[in-house]
Amino acid sequence: MTTHHHRLTRVGIGLAIGTALIAVPAAASGLAGGSTDTSAAKTAAVADHSPNSSKASSKTTHERGFVLECRGKTKGLRVSATLYENNVYGNDIQIALGGPDGEVNGRALKRKLVEKGHLTRAAKVMFDGKPAKVRGTAYKVGPKTPVHDEYDDAGNHIIVDGTHRRMITDMGLIYDGKRVGLTCDAAFAYNLTVVTESVE
């Protein structure tokens, strides 16, 4: 099957590098916290940070959004969907049909993918003229979990601090008359302060 080349820049890089945020105990951070499940924190932590000059400099961004990384299968169809929102770098959706060797397509967009807990009509990708639509609900639940990470990337030292909050989902993917229920391995909202320091 044909593969359409679209790269979810923040999501893809985060998954490829495998950078993981470290959960900070609530007592030490002074923030409300509970769960230390940060297995998907790498996805929201990495952005397209690049040095502005060879001189020492610092840039701070305040990034909010969510990550939903989901998969499902039914008779004759196996799918996966990644939805990502970031108030600084924009929103992305990527859908794969047919498993690892199947067809992949995605797009960047300005419209929100989730509003008031419901997936919007923007949560879709076209395959050969047919829409693959993600529908359902995704709500933030439970306490915020403080997170922290530091790493070097492309001549920069990146410092990430903030919180994650779990999301509970009830979602499905509709394509070519079939509906596939989705299970989201990663589903969380984030609120991060990202400091990029040039080290060159």
pLDDT in tens, 80-95: 999 999 999 999 999 9
* Degrees, nearest 5: CA angle 177-121-46: 110
- 199/24 Cα distance (integer angstroms): 26
Structure tokens at 87: 């108030």
Higher-confidence position of 133 and 49: 133
Sign of the torsion angle spanned by Cα atoms 130, 43, 13, 71: negative
Q: What is the pLDDT of residue 133?
A: 98
In sequence order, what are the beta bridge partners of 19?
Answer: none
Q: What is the pLDDT of residue 35?
A: 35
DSSP the chain: --------HHHHHHHHHT--PEEPPHHHHTS-------TTHHHHH------S-SS--EEEEEEEEEEEEEEEEETTEEEEEEEEEETTT-EEEEEEESSTTSEEEEEEESS-SEETTEE-TT-EEEETTEEEEEEEEEEEEEEEEEEEEEEEETTEEEEEEEEEEEEEEEEEEEETTEEEEEEEEEEEEEEEEEEEEE--
pLDDT over 90 (residue 106): yes
Percent of residues, the chain, with pLDDT higher than 70: 72
The contacts of residue 88 (CB under 8 Å, 6+ apart) are 47, 61, 62, 63
In sequence order, what are the beta bridge partners of 183?
Answer: 71
pLDDT band at 21 (very low <50, low <70, confident <90, very high): low
pLDDT over 50 (residue 105): yes
Structure tokens at 57: 């400099």
Over range 6-18, report the average pLDDT.
36
Place of tokens 């693959």: 132
Percent of residues, the chain, with pLDDT higher than 90: 66
Structure tokens at 156: 């920069």
Q: What is the pLDDT of residue 94?
A: 97
- 48/46 Cα distance (integer angstroms): 7
